[in-house]
Structure 1
Amino acid sequence: MGSFNLAKMTLRSLVSKPATVRYPYEKRDLERLFPQMRGHVVNDIDVCILCGMCQRACPVGAITVDRKAGDWTIDPYRCVQCASCTHECPKNCLSMDVHCTEPATELSVFTMHKDMPAKPAAGAKAAGGAAAKPKRELTPEQQARVEAARKAAAAKKAAKAAQEASE
């Protein structure tokens, strides 16, 4: 009976397609075969706010976020595809792709750059930029009170300085 099963298995393997593929040249349809497979991390940089939560959640430190420079960097050869970063992302801009990292002869990191909007300088706000508050106009009475208060404060400061100098 054992030889019959062996002959049956041998004949089946001779006429059926092989179970393996020639990987670099042929690729399997992984999305259909393994829908829950975790490949490499994909970031939608337009949605990303560069908060750094993915960097803190990564157990191996494969992700680095530089908010000031606007850079999001991942080392795909250090990543262990645990998907911790995707669970912690507040904007859900990180996802796990089905396809694994492509083989390479040299190790490299992948950096994405986000153009951050420039913040106006403090001088630009005071110079009358769009974000600056409009200057409040004072009535002549209010202006006289402000000038009197300034003169009184200056006289008080001068008297205090003269008293300290005489001691």
Structure 2
Amino acid sequence: MRLIVILFLLPVALAAQEVKPPDPEAALAAQAAQIAVWLTEEGFDPLTYDDEPNTWYISTTGDNMGAVPCTLYLCDGFICFQSILVSIPEHSHGDLGDLAGVLLRIGLENYMVKAVINDYNNVELEAEFPATSLSREDFVTALWLMLGTADSEYPRIIENVYR
């Protein structure tokens, strides 16, 4: 009789121990809330639109070097940054390959960064970081590398290459 009771209770016990996978919608909402907090802590009041969830538009004030716009968005577990650095001198185009070296020196070697010179002689910077494991320190460093101004703790990444 004990064996029959154990056999009937075994599936119930196993079902109770199963770990439910995390809800991806809840995880995305938590990541979005954290990023919104970090942006506020850094002094930004990002623009957001209802038809573009988990997307933030920010810009520097432009006091020293002109305003630098940046778009941030969450997609497939990554936080993505997009920024444009205006009017890069043509003679500096060869230095763009050093952007990866700059990131390696500051310890962001696990992330993707891309720099493209567009038809208007501007550099379009894109960076992707795993949102689930991104620390506040790495987020702030990446943000200011994309947006950095002359009076920032993090000079604009392209200036690090040209100095």
TM-score range, shorter chain: under 0.3
Higher share in strand = 2
- Larger Rg, first or second structure (1 or 2): 1
More helix by share: 2
Report the TM-score, using the length of structure 2 for normalisation.
0.23
